[in-house]
Amino acid sequence: MNAGILALRVDGIEAGRQRTRRLRFLTYAVILIAVAWSIEVIVVRDTDWTRITLKSLLESALRFTQLDTSVVPELWKPALETVVMATLATVVGLVMSIPVAWLGAANITPFGKSSYAVGRFLMTMSRSVHEIVWGLIFVSAVGLGALAGVLAMAVRSVGFISKIIAEAIEDVQPGPIEAIRAVGGNKLQVLLYGILPQVVPVVLGTVIFEWDINIRRSTIMGLVGAGGLGLVLFRQMAMSNYGGIMTVIFAVLLLIILGEVVSYYARKAVL
């Protein structure tokens, strides 16, 4: 009797495994078909294959093999402007992120679920809109120039910085907070002496990392008229000066490498 029941259980387990394998195979097949269909519709049908030849590819590549050194004297000021834009955007983004993080941290949000939802919505909205779109919005609002780029990157930075700060606040150790409350500390004292010391390292590391990201962002802000090296790149593209385009790209690469080095040593020094 027991052997029969055991055999039935074994058969049931084996049948369940077979169903799982069939379902997994069906899932993989559907994904493969969807990918193949997407490639066929988006790439195969929508591409003019008659223009793509080995000769045309080589000619296009050779256009970018030479540097236009005459552009180099024009790059110093935009490069400096790019770094300043990234730095200002990071500082402004941090200032704007503090109230958003305060609203979006579940353990300190002032008005419960309603303010928590507002804070999380602001974080999501900031991250969901690309910096180019923010740049277009601020260019239309304040005009061409570096200010539009700074504001665009600052708003874009809010989503990342505030989210990291809010999650760091939610993960703080409760011991120091309970100790301050036990001796009669108010909410401000809890925030200043119980929460802030625990999240400062996370905040500093996040800000340095975001500054490094904003170096990259600021190089393309000029494509929407927001100044920096991106504006020089856009002008070279408009003139079809391939050597100038490659020179600007090389300058952008050097600037990003410099940002990587500075951010690395800054993180080591602070953290």
pLDDT value at residue 31: 93
d(CA 212, CA 31): 36
What are 183-210's pLDDT values in tens digits?
A: 887 777 888 888 888 888 888 888 888 8
Q: Using the structure block, give the residue that is written with the tokens 């008005």.
A: 111
Query: What confidence tens digit (pLDDT) does each residue in 96-128 have?
Result: 999 999 899 888 888 888 999 999 999 999 988
Alpha carbon distances (Å) from 114 to 20, 120, 158: 42, 10, 20
Q: pTM here?
A: 0.74
Q: What are the tens digits of pLDDT across the range 196-246?
A: 888 888 888 888 888 888 888 887 777 776 677 888 888 888 888 888 888
Supply the pLDDT for residue 156.
92
Name the pLDDT band for 26 (thresholds 50, 70, 90). very high
